[in-house]
Amino acid sequence: MPPSDLEKSGDLEEGHTSTNLVSQELLKHSHDADAALKALEGQSIVLTPAENKRLLRKIDLHLMPIMCIVYGLNYLDKTTLSYASIMGLKLPPSSDKLHSGISINGSQYSWLSSMFYFGYLFWEYPTNRLLQRLPLGKYSAFNIIMWGTVLACFAAVDNYGGAIAIRLFLGIFEAAVTPGFALFTSQWYTRREQGTRTGIWFSFNGFAQIFGGVLAYGIAVGCRRTGTLLEPWKIVFLATGLLTAGVGAVFLWAVPDSQINCRWLTKEERILAIERIRINGQGVGNKHFKGYQMREALLDPMCWAFFFYALIASIPNGGISNFFSQLIVGFGYTPEQSLLYGTPGGAVEIVALILCAWYGDRIGRRILVSMAGLALALLGMILIVALPLSNNSGRLAGYYFTQASPTPFVALLSLISSNVAGYTKKTTVAAMYLIGYCTGNIIGPQTFRPEHAPRYVPAEITIIVCWAVALGILAFVHVYYARQNASKAAVRGGAGYVRLENQEWLDLTDRENPEFVYTL
């Protein structure tokens, strides 16, 4: 479909578009509407507040637990390498099973950390297109099972080349989870509910950090005391990989592709579940690729603001997530202590994500509230750099503060669900966002150079600068969306403006639809 005159003119954002022209342009899209329009055709629907509340509880009960567990495993499986790095992975091969690895140096470890994101980057846009074209639940489940299987195969690696290959394919299969979960959230929840739900399932990164630290510590201590047929780092990969593959099988059974084929909703509830998200103006899915929506995404300033935020903020994430165990050892603790002492950082992340997501939705200011978490992380990194080496506990507390840094990333991820309409545009923006995320995570480990160990001061200063710039981008996003809402209000208030019937299900983009109001 070619871009419309409305899109070409760009007048909608300035509030000067003729209201008759708006209606004519919107009608052009009615032949390629969202799947929800067909499902609701001929239906007489009344959704009471009590019924809506009951239905929301049922949706939460069936979707949120499995999404939370899978997303926690997504984080755990990426960072298992950090635990393995101090459990013998980097040692040379040996007949001693407790002290045998694949013999890699510091520079090779940095590239091994980055290789995951090369796979993620390579497959991010193709997997977003597949998320649009293929059944969402089934394709997501396939990727979960495959990345768990690939991770378990790391236990069979005996050289650096094999480890590189495993990390590459792990990134390829994990590339679907975050954009897929953003689509699930926009598909099942209203815009007022999406920020909190995104914060909850993303917060399981923190639970995974706690679980992973305890698991790795238990394996390390148990192997040291009793001995084992397998190296401790191999057991970590086997345990986490097989657990993920098993959960993926449960996901395949439990999570539908959309409300339309949901087995745990009655026929009447499926229609109500679609009706309750009418307010989003986004529908439940459209499998047709629309080139004009992709072009609109690439010309939208918010797409690039999201991209550059993800790129810049992920440089610190890539470094810290792969080097946090070694960072804590640099504070003066033993490798075994670092496994255990890293776990409170997960608790900080959980509290920060859930609190910011809930409060941001409550007051309607997701972006501004999320900036508080990033400011706390910035303070933590300043403490790590500024405090003397003798102040181990103070620098460890600084590390814990850095774990609040994902709050804006999650806020912007929820805004992709809430503020980007048009299915092709949404998948394009999500892909761009995660391409930025991948690129930043590739760069991040390279800032932790072996010659700077154990303090890594240049990397820590880089992190401070990145987070300061990221705060500026967030302020720009908030101001831009506020101005766009004012422009759209002017269009809706114009003389002769007519709202089309079922306008919510026409698969319009957020810029095409004058009724669309951006969440701040």
pLDDT of 76 > 70? The answer is yes
Q: Which residues contact 516 (CB under 8 A, 6 or more apart)?
A: 281, 421, 488, 508, 510
Question: What is the structure's pLDDT at 504?
Answer: 66
Write out the DSSP string of 123-155: HHHHHHHHHHHS-HHHHHHHHHHHHHHHHHHGG
CB atoms within 10 A of CB 390: 8
Residue type, 115: M
Question: Minimum mean pLDDT among 228-232, 295-299, 468-472: which range?
Answer: 228-232
Asked whether the CA dihedral 176, 441, 377, 220 is positive or negative, the reply is positive
Instruction: Check residue 174 and give its pLDDT.
Output: 93
Task: Measure CA 517 to chain center.
Answer: 23
Q: What is the model's pLDDT at position 97?
A: 61
When pLDDT is cut at 50, 70 and 90, the band that residue 38 belongs to is low
Q: How high is the pLDDT of residue 499? A: 74
Amino acid at 43: Q
The CA-CA-CA angle for residues 141, 304, 139, to 5°, reads 10
- What are the structure tokens assigned to 121, written together? 């980057």
Q: Which residue has the higher pLDDT, 384 or 229?
A: 384
- From the list 351, 360, 53, the residue with the least C-alpha distance to 200 is 351
Asked if the model's pLDDT at residue 256 lies above 90, the reply is yes
Q: Residues 203, 205, 206, 207: what is their CA dihedral angle, to the nearest 10 degrees?
A: 100
**Mean pLDDT, rounded, for 385-408:** 88
The distance of Cα 519 from the centroid of its chain, to the nearest Å, equals 18
Instruction: Please compute the mean of the pLDDT values over residues 366-381 and round it to a whole number.
Output: 94
The confidence score (pLDDT) of residue 13 equals: 39
Angle formed by the axes of helices 191-226 and 232-254, nearest 10°: 150
| Residues found in the chain | 520
Q: What is the spatial distance between Cα 194 and Cα 268, in angstroms, rounded to a whole number?
A: 23
179-200 tens-digit pLDDT: 999 989 988 999 889 989 999 9
Measured on CA atoms in the order 491, 413, 178, 197, is the torsion positive or negative? negative
pLDDT higher than threshold 90 for residue 1: no
At residue 56, the pLDDT reads 94
**Residue 383 corresponds to which amino acid?**
L
Element (H, E) at 508: none
Q: Is the pLDDT of residue 401 over 50?
A: yes
Angle ∠(34,36,39) on CA atoms, nearest 5: 130
- Determine which of 11-25, 152-166, 182-196, 472-486 has the lowest per-residue pLDDT on average: 11-25
Alpha-carbon torsion (430, 245, 249, 321), positive or negative: negative
Q: Which of 287, 271, 256 is nearest to 35 (CA)?
A: 287
pLDDT of 331-373, one tens digit each?
Answer: 778 877 777 787 888 889 899 999 999 999 889 899 999 999 9
How many CA atoms are closer than 13 Å to the CA of 246, on its beta-carbon side? 7
pLDDT of residue 33: 59
Question: Is the model more confident about 17 or about 39?
Answer: 39
pLDDT, residue 12, reads 40
267-272 average pLDDT score:
88
- Return the amino acid letter for 118: F
Quick one: tokens of 471? 């705060």
Q: How far is it, in rounded angstroms, from Cα 406 to Cα 377?
A: 9
For 343, residues 6+ apart whose C-beta sits below 8 A from its C-beta are: 209, 210, 213, 214
d(CA 196, CA 192): 8
The answer to whether the CB of 328 falls within 8 A of the CB of 341 is yes
| CA neighbours closer than 13 Å in the CB half-sphere of residue 517 | 10
Ordered domains of the chain (ranges, CATH): 47-505 (1.20.1250.20)
Is pLDDT at 96 greater than 70 in this prediction?
no
pLDDT digit string, tens, across residues 101-137: 687 887 888 788 888 889 988 998 899 889 988 999 9
Q: What percent of the chain has pLDDT over 70?
A: 86
Average pLDDT over the chain, rounded to an integer: 84
**What is the distance of C-alpha 450 from the center of its chain?**
29
pLDDT digits (tens, 9 = 90+) for 144-188: 999 999 999 998 988 899 999 999 999 999 999 999 999 899 889
pTM exceeds 0.85 for this model: no
Question: Which residue do the tokens 């949901």 mark?
Answer: 262
pLDDT score of 42: 57
